[in-house]
Amino acid sequence: MADNKFNTDKLNINPRQKLRSYLRVMKLTKKPSRDEFLMIAKVAGAGILAAGFVGFVIYILMTEIPQWV
Q: What is the mean pLDDT of residues 17-42?
A: 92
| CA pair distance 63, 47, nearest whole angstrom | 24
Instruction: Determine the pLDDT at residue 50.
Output: 98
pLDDT recorded at residue 39 = 98
- The pLDDT mean for the chain works out to 87
Coil, strand or helix: which one is 17?
Answer: helix
- Give the model's pLDDT for residue 57: 96
Q: What are the tens digits of pLDDT across the range 40-69?
A: 999 999 999 999 999 999 999 999 888 877
Q: Model-level pTM greater than 0.85?
A: no
**Are 32 and 40 spatial neighbours (Cβ–Cβ below 8 Å)?**
yes
Query: What pLDDT, on the 0 to 100 scale, is given for residue 65?
Result: 86
